[in-house]
Amino acid sequence: MKKSKKFLPVFIAFFLLFSNSCMNSYKKYKDTPSRIMSNDILNMIKAEQYEEAEEYFNYLVEKKPYSINGVRLLEEVYVELASVKNIIEHLNTWCLKSPPHQSAFILRGIYHTNSAWRARGGGYAYAVSDEGRRLFESRLKLAKKDLEKAYSLNPDDPNSASSMIPVLMGLRYEEEEMETWFQSAIKSDPVTYEPYSKKLQFLNPKWRGTLEKHIRFAEHCYHNPPRKSIVYKIMFDCLIEYSKKAGNVKRFFRKPQVKNTLNDIYKRVLKDFPKAMRIRQDFAYVQYKLGKFDEAIRLYTEALAIDPNDMFVLRSRGTIYLEDKAEFNKAELDYKRLIKNNPYYPRTRAEAYFRLGEIFRLRNKNYKKVMEYYNKAIELNPKEKYYFFMRGFNKMSVNRDFKSALEDFIEAEKIDPRHIHINHYKSMCLHELKRFDEAITNYQKTLELIEKEVVKGDADKLNKEQAEGLKLQINHFISLCQKKQTL
């Protein structure tokens, strides 16, 4: 016993030295975007250096460092890594490793969840195919199994419990089950943001909640956030959500209570986390919707000074340059920078390629370049109807290639069979190809969609006057087709 006591200080000293050396290895990530650490961990996972990656996750679970955005760094790392293209191949190998580690199963669970929602699509239930529904349910069940495994391995990591909430939402579990997992997450770490964000989504009336519960929860987070957290920002997220449903977005953001609340949250976050990028990005979105384009660009530029290659900010600033300022050269630079520096996010890169195609189309030059960019966008994301729609429109209007354009409109229609303009332009192609019977049938279908006042997506919003004008045009085309049938 005496001998053990004699060596005890030596063991303690060695342990402290080892702990300090581990702590020092993470200093290079202090005050940097989480993307930098995520990229380093990704390289470890790809190289099958699982012990090294697990050391990072153990550190993040134990020490609970904040990201520059004011949330736990661990949350952002999980979200970023699970979004990487083809990471599932590496996660499958990692999950077979012994002894198992919760981070591998959390990442795979989040990946399966993301994959499930992609299979379903972001549209209304009517636009979801039978195959989409099947994949949605089967992938969510895989996610549930992985997250349950992760929680059993280490309940101190709150991300297994918080990541379970969108799974339960998709599988139509009751609120009581969601609340159990929510409480498990905040018990592990009351400051963590993701559980609150995901619960807010669950309580949204369009999913599993009600308007009253949704608003009440946001108000509770705003007025009673956990100490040293930015959970009060949940109210910001809630107001952004409701702004999208407002008939007049500008009027909504100009309401004194809404305006004061958003300003208060913006200032509170920056006071505690001066380098926070996400709040700048979110507040820039508000300025953009208010029509304050220069102010939005200024905020996005501030964010890019912190992380010059953030894909969300580059995409947002590029959109303003393209759609609102018509500064095509600046927009082109942002989209090309996004593509070059974010190789692992195919859907975001697809959008950037599509926007580059739009830039060349609006410049009225280089048809081949326009099609090249559209083709790349479709290759990376073949489930976006608008990519097919615009490629078909370009083939029809510029090259007068109605046969090939029709093929694109048919693909777009498969994704959303009730989109008014897709059906309209499909009818026009059939008309030009002298397939009059089919053209009349499709024109009539378009009229029925207009009569039902189906509103789907920004490209398909018709006010009463526009709808009446389109109906007159379609009826004229039907008459032309009928006359040509008799000749």
CATH of residue 409's domain is 1.25.40.10
Residue that finishes a domain, picked among 209, 227, 253: 209
Mean pLDDT of 170-193: 95
Domain count, the chain: 2
Q: Which one of 174, 191, 209 terminates a domain?
A: 209
Q: How far apart are CA 241 and CA 52, in angstroms?
A: 39
Query: Which H/E stretch holds residue 375?
Result: helix 367-380
The Cα–Cα gap between 52 and 60 comes to 13
Mean pLDDT of the chain: 89
Residue 342: CB partners within 8 Å, gap ≥ 6? Answer: 309, 311, 348, 349
How many other CB atoms are found less than 10 A from the CB of residue 215?
Answer: 16
- In this prediction, residue 364 carries a pLDDT of 79
Q: Pick the last residue of a domain from 209, 228, 254.
A: 209
Any domain includes 469: yes
Out of 182-191, 295-304, 458-467, pick the least confident.
Answer: 458-467
Range picked from 2-6, 323-327, 339-343, 407-411 for highest mean pLDDT: 407-411
Find the length of the chain. Answer: 487
In this structure, are residues 127 and 415 in contact, taking their beta carbons and an 8 Å threshold?
Answer: yes
Q: Is residue 277 part of a domain?
A: no
Q: What is the 3-state secondary structure (H, E, C) of 66-78?
A: ECCCCCEHHHHHH
**345 versus 62: which is more confidently predicted?**
62
Interatomic CA distance for residues 232 and 10, integer angstroms: 46
Does residue 134 register a pLDDT over 60? Answer: yes
Residue 178 in any domain: the answer is yes
Task: Give residue 154's domain range.
Answer: 34-209
465 pLDDT above the threshold of 90: no
Looking at the whole model, is its pTM more than 0.85? no
**Is residue 389 a contact partner of residue 377, using CB atoms and an 8 Å limit?**
no
pLDDT in tens, 44-67: 999 999 999 999 999 999 999 999
- Spatial CA neighbour of 76 closest among 23, 36, 27: 36
**Secondary structure letter of residue 48 according to DSSP:** T
Q: Which residue has the higher pLDDT, 85 or 106?
A: 106
Q: Label residues 459-473 b or e (16+ Cβ within 10 Å = b).
A: ebebeeeeeeebeee
Least confident of 134-138, 419-423, 441-445, 464-468: 464-468
Give domain status of residue 168, yes or no. yes
pLDDT classification of 21: cutoffs 50, 70, 90: low
Q: Which of 116-130, 210-224, 243-257, 326-340 has the lowest mean pLDDT?
A: 116-130
The strand pairing partners of 72, in sequence order, are: 66
Higher pLDDT, 460 or 347: 347
Q: Does a structural domain hold residue 240?
A: no
Report the C-alpha gap between 179 and 163 in whole angstroms.
13
Answer yes or no: is pLDDT of 116 > 70: yes
Helices (H) and strands (E) in the chain, counts: 25, 0
Question: φ and ψ at 423, to 5 degrees?
Answer: -65, -40
- Kindly state the percentage of the chain with pLDDT values over 70: 91
- State the Cα–Cα distance between residues 433 and 436, nearest whole angstrom: 8
> Residue type at 98?
S
Residue 366's pLDDT band, with cuts at 50, 70 and 90, is confident
Tell me how far apart the alpha carbons of residues 452 and 467 are, in angstroms, rounded to a whole number: 11
Integer Cα distance of 363 and 341 in angstroms: 26
For residue 1, being part of any structural domain is answered with no
Give yes or no for a cis peptide into 99 (omega within 30° of 0): yes
Could you write out the DSSP letters of every residue in 376-399? Answer: HHHHH-TT-HHHHHHHHHHHHHTS
Distance CA 271, CA 105 (A): 36
Specify the 3-state DSSP secondary structure of 235: helix
Does some domain include residue 25? no
* Predicted pLDDT at 353: 97
Query: How much is the pLDDT for 12?
Result: 53
Amino acid of residue 309: N
Tell whether 433 is covered by a domain.
yes
CB-based burial label for 438 (10 Å; 0-12, 13-18, 19+): middle
